[in-house]
Amino acid sequence: MYKHILLASDGSENAVRAAKEAVKMASYDKESIIDVVYVIDIEKSKTDVLHSTSSEAIELERRKKNSKVIQFLNEANANYKTTILRGKPGPEIVKYANNHRVDVVVIGSRGLNVLQEMVLGSVSHKVMKRVHCPALIVK
């Protein structure tokens, strides 16, 4: 079925819900691996650097953001690895998925309202349109 499952994570509750679906998918094949991809947003990271006292503090804060997802995967005894990328989340996830022959992308939806989605666009929608594999958006 799906051997290489990309789980796009920002550490939110939506990402935890997406992780639950990724674990379900992975449970059908013992050789499946969940690749937890966390993108450090360039724009947000500039703000983090300006407001932080050290690079260690920044790294710790970034790891904390994804800790709920990692904790869930550990509790589920999931076979996973973590990949940290830098850039804009949508394009970085798409580039990684397309370059690493991912079988399926699982991503949470932020739950934007219609106006927000029209103005901002959603990362999940951008990813879904541009990856060369199936994508599951979890809300």
- Structure confidence by residue, pLDDT tens digits, 18-30: 999 999 999 999 9
Query: Residue 41: its pLDDT value, please?
Result: 82
pLDDT for residue 87 is more than 70: yes
Percent of the chain past pLDDT 70, that is, above it, reads: 77
Domain 4-138 has CATH 3.40.50.620: yes
User: Model confidence at 110, in pLDDT bands (50, 70, 90)?
Assistant: confident
The structural domains of the chain, with segments of one domain joined by +, span: 4-138
Question: Given a cut of 60, is residue 64 above it in pLDDT?
Answer: yes
Distance, CA of 25 to CA of 39 (rounded, Å): 22
Q: Which helix (H) or strand (E) holds 37?
A: strand 33-41
∠ CA 123-111-8, nearest 5°, is 40
Contacts of residue 50, defined as CB under 8 A and 6 or more positions apart, other chains included, come to none
pTM of full prediction above 0.95: no
- Number of residues that make up the chain: 139
